[in-house]
């Protein structure tokens, strides 16, 4: 007699008293704790109250059938996991057995049966139930581990973005002054490229968690693909050319408008061009953006072609899968996390587009083609508008940031742009300075000690009103943080590290 027999409880449901007694004795002699019921309704009540491990359920009952009892057990969350064994002396045809098993029963015995057959079936159901319990427990553990992993990644991204924000802002200041010699210029370029690369890795690392949970969201608005791609190329060109590669670019003169998320589209373009450069040792990377089709079916086509290491036929179908990489050598000289192309496919699909990869094989280079639906002509903006960077004017700005390096570097950058800047290291002093100096705009870090950025925003909205423009600075870039910032009263949410060009664009637009 095993441990499971001494601990297991069996509910025996049968309206025939003699039959019920006989089954009770067989089960009790095998070491099981036995409960009994004579009707279907009584069985349902006892099942919910006592939660037996197994129910031996006769099909023919005086009130409701065993089929109905089983269906109700399965529909009740409290009893759905209980193992059910149908028994019957009359409903013994194959179609009746199929009906019982299809209706949720785990086993079906035809009476009369041998005691050993009954006990063997009960033990089998107990083993099955134990395995299911272990699987559910493991699933719950995995869900909890996944939740903790997501929290860790979010915290890691936040902690990494704070120092990156200070470095990136300092780079913006260094760029204002011409380097004294070629070596200094080269060092500036290295710092800039590697900081942008590190920032993108942090974003990709966090995005993979969002993708697996289906948490990636788009902030959609009319976007000019031509202008967006020009901004990306301004950053990527030095990075590509520093590898000794030639970057050939063919962009349309007219803007190509679509409904989308500019930041996410930049991420798509950056990953594709960066990927092409990373896997190309010599030669060129060619980028082409153009329109295909006519109004109503028009789409933008982006081609990114390289002369790099190529992709073998067996790896090509899996290139967009998570953690798939063309370079699987031990030295991992190409770097990367194997996340970028998965992000590309996910974001392109979310924009209603497609992406495909082709290659002639190893050493033959690769080509990635993205197709995105364009806005009809009657919905496209008439023009791209004036250059926002030219719209800059001096503002009174309050900066609330607890990281001293980030606070100082951003203050220096804003003052270089001609703004008057007051700074505060915490929320309480930030609110006091806002009430004292009446700034045009406040840049507020979310993760402040004591009074956090959300509380600062709500307080300023109550005491200053809607005239003050509020910009949230946060190491958390998930959609929940964005929505929470808007609810708290912020006008804009910027994820650290904030590129100087993006900050300037936001200030000018506000």
Tens digit of each residue's pLDDT (9 = 90 or more) over 313-331: 888 888 887 655 555 443 3
* Domain 220-379 of CATH type 3.10.20.30: no
- Asked if 3-113 and 143-216+386-510 have one fold, the answer is yes
pLDDT at 285 over 90: yes
Which of 80-89, 90-99, 272-281, 421-430 has the lowest average pLDDT? Answer: 90-99
Helix 453-463 to helix 479-488 angle (10° resolution) is 30
The pLDDT of residue 164: 79
The pLDDT of residue 223: 87
Tokens of 253: 């003169």
pLDDT at 508 over 90: no
The pLDDT of residue 206: 67
The pLDDT of residue 391: 45
| Cβ within 8 Å of residue 291, ≥6 positions away | 252, 256, 298, 299, 300, 301, 374
Sheet of 366-373, strand order:
246-250, 284-292, 299-306, 366-373, 354-359
Residue 35 · residue 9 · CB < 8 Å:
yes
pLDDT at 294 over 50: yes
- pLDDT confidence band for 470 (50 / 70 / 90): very high
Alpha helices in 334-388 (DSSP H): 340-350
Task: Indicate the domain borders of the chain.
Answer: 3-113, 143-216+386-510, 220-379
Nearest residue to 2 via CA among 123, 84, 115: 123
The average pLDDT across 335-339 equals 56
The pLDDT of residue 392: 52
Q: Measured at the alpha carbon of residue 148, what is the angle toward residues 320 and 152, in degrees to the nearest 5?
A: 75
pLDDT at 385 over 50: no
Tell me which H or E stretch contains 479.
Answer: helix 479-488
Which of 143-157, 292-306, 419-433, 435-449 has the lowest average pLDDT? Answer: 143-157
Q: Distances in Å between the alpha carbon of 480 and those of 155, 324, 457, 483? A: 14, 29, 17, 5
The neighbouring-strand residues paired with 291 are 300
Residue 12 · residue 23 · CB < 8 Å:
yes
pLDDT at 3 over 60: no
| Predicted TM-score of the model (pTM) | 0.52
Coil/strand/helix, residue 499:
coil
Pairing of strands 107-110, 299-306: unpaired
- pLDDT confidence band for 390 (50 / 70 / 90): very low
Which of 11-20, 115-124, 327-336, 472-481 has the lowest average pLDDT? Answer: 327-336
The pLDDT of residue 5: 44
pLDDT at 116 over 80: yes
The pLDDT of residue 262: 83
The pLDDT of residue 195: 78
pLDDT at 29 over 50: yes
pLDDT at 106 over 50: yes
> DSSP assignment of 402-471, as one string?
S-HHHHHHHHHHHHHTT-EEEEESSHHHHHHHHHHH--SEEEEESS-SSS-HHHHHHHHHHHT-TTSEEE
The pLDDT of residue 73: 94
Nearest residue to 272 via CA among 172, 371, 153, 374: 371
pLDDT at 340 over 50: yes
The rounded distance, in Å, linking the Cα atoms of 360 and 464 is 63
The pLDDT of residue 119: 93
pLDDT at 373 over 70: yes
| Cβ within 8 Å of residue 374, ≥6 positions away | 256, 257, 258, 291, 298, 299, 300, 380
* Topology given in CATH for the domain delimited by 3-113: Rossmann fold (3.40.50)
pLDDT at 31 over 60: yes
Q: Is the bond leading into 497 cis (omega within 30 degrees of zero)? A: yes
| Average of per-residue pLDDT values in the chain | 84
pLDDT digits (tens, 9 = 90+) for 155-184: 777 677 778 777 877 777 776 677 777 787
CATH code of the domain occupying 143-216+386-510: 3.40.50.2300
pLDDT at 387 over 50: no
pLDDT at 271 over 80: yes
Q: Distances in Å between the alpha carbon of 140 and those of 135, 136, 145, 149? A: 9, 6, 9, 14
- pLDDT confidence band for 208 (50 / 70 / 90): low
pLDDT at 6 over 60: no
Nearest residue to 259 via CA among 376, 179, 398: 376
The average pLDDT across 82-104 equals 87
Name the CA radius of gyration of the chain, rounded: 33
Nearest residue to 274 via CA among 230, 319, 349, 336: 336
The average pLDDT across 241-268 equals 88
Tokens of 283: 């030669």
Which of 171-185, 224-238, 470-484 has the lowest average pLDDT? Answer: 171-185
pLDDT digits (tens, 9 = 90+) for 416-430: 888 899 999 999 999
pLDDT at 504 over 90: no
pLDDT at 332 over 60: no
């Amino acid at each position: 007699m095993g441990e499971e027999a001494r601990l297991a409880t069996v509910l025996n449901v049968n309206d025939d008293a003699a039959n019920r007694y006989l089954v009770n004795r067989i089960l009790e002699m095998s070491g099981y704790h036995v409960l009994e019921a004579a009707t279907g309704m009584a069985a349902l009540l006892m099942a919910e109250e006592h939660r037996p491990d197994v129910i031996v359920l006769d099909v023919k009952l005086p009130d409701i059938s065993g089929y109905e009892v089983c269906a109700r057990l399965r529909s009740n969350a409290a009893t759905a996991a209980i193992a059910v064994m149908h028994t019957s002396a009359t409903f013994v045809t194959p179609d009746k057995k199929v009906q019982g098993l299809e209706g949720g029963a785990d086993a079906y015995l035809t009476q009369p049966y041998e005691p050993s057959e009954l006990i063997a079936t009960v033990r089998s159901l107990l083993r099955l139930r134990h395995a299911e319990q272990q699987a559910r427990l493991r699933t719950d553990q995995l869900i909890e581990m996944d939740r903790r992993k997501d929290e860790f990644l979010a915290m890691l991204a936040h902690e990494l973005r704070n120092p990156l924000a200070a470095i990136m802002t300092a780079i913006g200041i260094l760029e204002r002054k011409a380097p004294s010699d070629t070596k200094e210029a080269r060092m500036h370029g290295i710092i800039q490229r590697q900081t942008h690369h590190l920032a993108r890795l942090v974003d990709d690392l966090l995005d993979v968690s969002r993708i697996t949970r289906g948490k990636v969201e788009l902030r959609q608005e009319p976007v000019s693909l031509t202008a967006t791609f020009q901004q990306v190329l301004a950053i990527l060109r030095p990075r590509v050319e520093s590898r000794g590669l030639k970057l050939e670019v063919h962009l349309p003169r007219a803007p190509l408008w679509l409904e989308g998320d500019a930041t996410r589209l930049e991420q798509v373009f950056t990953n594709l061009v960066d990927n092409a450069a990373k896997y190309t040792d010599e030669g060129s990377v060619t980028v082409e953006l153009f329109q295909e089709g006519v109004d109503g079916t028009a789409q933008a086509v982006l081609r990114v072609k390289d002369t790099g290491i190529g992709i073998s036929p067996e790896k090509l179908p899996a290139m967009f899968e998570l953690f798939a990489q063309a370079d699987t050598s031990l030295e991992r000289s190409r770097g990367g996390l194997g996340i970028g192309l998965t992000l590309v496919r996910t974001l392109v699909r979310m924009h209603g587009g497609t992406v495909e990869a082709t290659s002639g094989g190893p050493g033959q280079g690769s080509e990635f083609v993205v197709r995105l639906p364009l806005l009809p002509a009657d919905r496209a903006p008439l023009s791209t508008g004036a250059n926002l960077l030219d719209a800059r004017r001096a503002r009174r700005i309050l900066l609330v940031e607890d990281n001293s390096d980030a606070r100082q570097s951003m203050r220096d950058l804003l003052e270089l742009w001609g703004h008057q800047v007051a700074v505060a290291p915490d929320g309480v002093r930030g609110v006091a300075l806002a009430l004292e100096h009446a700034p045009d705009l406040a840049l507020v870090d979310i993760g402040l000690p004591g009074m956090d950025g959300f509380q600062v925003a709500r307080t300023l909205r109550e005491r200053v009103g809607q005239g003050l423009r509020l910009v949230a600075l946060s190491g958390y870039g998930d959609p929940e943080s964005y929505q929470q910032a808007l609810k708290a009263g912020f006008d804009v949410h910027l994820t650290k590290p904030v590129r100087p060009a993006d900050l300037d664009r936001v200030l000018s637009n506000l």
